[in-house]
Structure 1
Amino acid sequence: MSLIENSTTCLGGLTNNSYMFECEGEQYILRSPGNRTGEYIDRQAEALNAKIAYDCGLGPEVVYCDADSGLMVTRFISGATTPGGDDLKHPAMLRRVVDTIKTLHNKGAVLSGHFDPFKTIERYVTYLKKRGGETPRNFDPALIKAQSIRQALESSQRAPTACHVDMVPENFLDTGERIYLLDWEYAGNGDAFWDLAMLSIEAAFEGDDDKRLLEMYLGEPPRAADAGRLFLYKIVCDLVWTPWAAIQTVNGNRKLDYWSYATERCDRALNMMERAEFEHQLRAVQR
């Protein structure tokens, strides 16, 4: 690229900064990684997975990527909007999002790296301790209680599939004709239900919303084991993002009050495990 024009700051993510710019009449997005993110994110894997996503028609074109620095340039997708959490509760929009997720899961693509949420928790906690940080007070009791979830999920393992992992609404880009998935930093091969749980918890889905999500994804009414798997993974989602958020605190990320974010995630996970239905959902998955 020889000439950059009209550089403007775009809406950034929770950790990175993004800038839109023009070059020779074309628009692009420059992603500049957040402080120290390369210490706990595999940028080599991200580069490969972002290119695989583009090849599958699911991600924007990667024009340039430097895995060492974390800098990435993608082609700007014109006329696209990001749906909000409430938008995803509308059946028509949810159907389009679910179809996009199913395309990813059923494409047969093999991503770089394996995503295991419990090993990810362990890795985040190890990194956090090295940085002199700490987790919220309730995190250790929550993690101990969650070992029953780990056993239930591992005893009913499903074949790994390509997973985006970070299914927050902000990572959907809707052109009206298709939906793109942005931000492949955490992607890897794992349990498809993780992506469904992430979508559910980030869009604030509840009982009827979850049932609709599963019916659309499965193409039939969900079995008790399916509903249970989604419920358990929603708990694990919060447990993964608790130490992640604590890392943001110790690394000086000021985009949010990340300590409150970590505490709220942890408390929500613990509250879900204290609900009367928790044991029922465990048994449903283990059957």
Structure 2
Amino acid sequence: MTIEDCLPADLRGPTTTLTRIAAGLSGAAVYRVEAAGQSFVLKIAGETENHADWRGALPIQRLAADAGLAPRIVHVDEARRAVLTAFVTDRSFKTFYGDPRTHEAALTQLGRTVRRIHALPPPADAPMRDPRGLLAQVKHGLLGSFALPGFAGDVVRRVLAEDPLTHERVLVLGHNDLNPTNLIYDGEAILILDWATAGPMDAFYDLAVLSVFLRMNEGTSLRLLSAYEDEQLVELPKRFLYTRRLAAALAGAFQLYFARQMKHAGATGTETPDSTPSLGEFYQRMQAGELKLGTPDGHWGFGLALLKESLAM
């Protein structure tokens, strides 16, 4: 089988070109496709990606695409677990959000976009996503056999010991991975990529992930939630504050897990919250080329920065 075999017959031919543009942590391969005078994106699931999970995520991606929340789906090859979508030129969500002239418009649109995601009807057989339970699983796998800084284990244990406020839980269809790499801006709308882990979950989790990764202070987080609720809130709900700590701890724990998978040596015994770069400092080091995700040191540094962030919340 060739990569081109994943395309529909009318897009195969001598003038078709495929250029690999990304590889996800799941092992998925992503290609830009030029065919018939048009551009597309082809994503092929990795060998380690669970087939049932892939099939379960597909109808959610279709829902999102039909609602204009994700790029249009052009073709699906279920046997090869390949999805071809329209190519969307990214006008840079990072610039839209980071430019002071457009920041508030971007923040408002972001909150409303999440609201539209959560308004989608979840498929009846979609598995519930439980970030807290997942953190407990990662904790079990990490803390017993990997040398972690003391504060890292303390952060995870603290979050799991807290009252998760389940009595206030409202389940919606959530994306579950709204980190900035999954956000694109086409000049008019914010579109969301990678729906592999979407499913019914706490309504605040997507918002908490955005708050963490975009380094929102409490005022900015409050404006995000106000845009989401379409009403002016005067304080951040306790469940959101808890979920933000949970989101930072889970993301950090996963980054340490990736570092371990890539044979990182683990803690040296000198790591403390004070010696650990903040999330903002980690981003600066990435921009300077000093650290890179996809490497053991990159995942290790990112994980510790996220856990430090959770500790400070």
Measured against the shorter chain, the TM-score band is 0.7 to 0.9
CA distance in 1, matches of 2:119, 2:257: 33
Classify 1:145/1:114 alpha carbon distance in 2 versus 1 (closer, same or farther; 3 Å): same
State the TM-score, normalized to the length of structure 1: 0.78
C-alpha displacement at 1:80, in angstroms? Answer: 3.3
Aligned partner letter, 1:47: L
CA distance in 2, matches of 1:244, 1:68: 30
Aligned to 1:104: 117
Pair 1:129–1:5, CA change in 2 (3 A) = farther
Q: Tell me, what secondary structure is at the counterpart of 1:146?
A: helix
**1:54 corresponds to which letter in structure 2?**
A
Shift of 1:55: 2.6
Q: Which runs of 5+ in 1 are unaligned?
A: 273-287
Figure out how many residues of one structure are paired with residues of the other and give that number: 266
- In structure 1, what is the equivalent of residue 309 of structure 2? 268
Alignment match, 1:25: 37
Higher normalized contact order (CA 8 Å, seq sep 6+, divided by chain length): 1
Residue 233 of structure 1, aligned match among 231, 238, 243: 243
Alignment check: 8 A CA contact 1:171 1:181 kept: yes
Partners of 1:82 and 1:171 within 8 A in 2: no
Identify if the C-alpha distance between structure 1 residues 152 and 9 changes in structure 2 by more than 3 Å, giving closer, same or farther. closer
**Offset at residue 29 of structure 1 (A):** 0.9
> d(CA) in 1 for partners of 2:62 and 2:21?
22
Counterpart residue number, 1:200: 211
- 2:155 and 2:51 map into 1 onto residues whose CA distance is 23
Q: 1:268 to 1:129 in 2, by over 3 A?
A: closer
Match of 2:267 in 1: none
1:114 match: 128
Task: Please state whether the residue corresponding to 2:128 is helix, strand or coil.
Answer: coil
Letter of the 1:271 counterpart: A
Q: Measure, in 1, the Cα distance between the counterparts of 2:36 and 2:204.
A: 43
Q: Say which is worse superposed, 16-25 or 232-241, in terms of deviation.
A: 16-25
**Distance (whole Å) between structure 1 residues aligned to residue 39 and residue 61 of structure 2:** 18
Quickly say closer, same or farther: Cα 1:42–1:82, change in 2 above 3 A: farther
| 1:67-106 correspondence runs (5 A) | 71-77=82-88, 79-84=89-94, 86-87=98-99, 90-106=103-119
Q: 1:280 is matched with which residue? A: none
Residues of 2 paired with 1:49 and 1:124: CA distance?
26
Determine the C-alpha separation between the residues in 2 that align with 1:134 and 1:265: 17
**The 10-residue stretch of structure 1 (169-178 or 59-68) with the greater mean CA deviation from structure 2:** 59-68
Residues 107 and 261 of structure 1: CA distance in aligned 2, closer, same or farther (over 3 Å): same
After TM superposition, the score normalised by the length of structure 2 is 0.72
Q: Structure 2 unaligned segments of length 5 or more: list them.
A: 1-7, 264-292
Question: How many percent identity over aligned positions?
Answer: 22
Q: Summarize the Cα distance change of 1:107–1:52 in structure 2 as closer, same or farther, 3 Å threshold.
A: closer
Aligned equivalents of 2:211, 2:92: Cα separation in 1: 16
Taking a change above 3 Å as real, the CA distance of residues 14 and 92 of structure 1, as seen in their structure-2 partners, is farther
Pair 1:127–1:188, CA change in 2 (3 A):
farther
| Larger Cα-atom Rg | 2
Q: Which residue of 2 aligns with 1:244?
A: 254
